[in-house]
Amino acid sequence: MTKRFENKVVVITGGSDGIGLATAKLFAIEGAHVYITGRRQELLAEAVQEIGHGAVGVQGDVTNAADVARLYEQIGRAHQKVDVVFANAGKYALVPLEEIDDAHFAATFDANVKGMVFTVQKAMPLMSAGGTIVLNGSIAGSKGFPGQSLYNASKAAVRSFARSWTIDLKERGIRVNVVSPGGTETRLIRSYLDTQPEVEAALNKSVPLGRMAEPNEVARAVLFLASSESSFVAGHELFVDGGVAAV
pLDDT reading at 94 higher than 90: no
Whole-number percent of the chain with pLDDT over 90: 89
From the candidates 35, 72, 151, 192, which is the catalytic residue? 151
pLDDT reading at 192 higher than 80: no
Instruction: Note the pLDDT of residue 1.
Output: 62
**Domain-wise residue ranges, the chain:** 9-184+215-238
Domain 9-184+215-238's class?
alpha beta
Sequence-ordered list of residues with C-beta below 8 angstroms from that of 144, at least 6 positions apart, any chain: 152
Of 26-35, 193-202, 215-224, the range with the lowest mean pLDDT is 193-202
Among candidate residues 71, 59, 164, the one with its CA nearest the CA of residue 113 = 164
151 is catalytic: yes
Among candidate residues 47, 18, 7, the one with its CA nearest the CA of residue 215 = 18
Q: Is the pTM of this model over 0.85?
A: yes
pLDDT reading at 29 higher than 80: yes
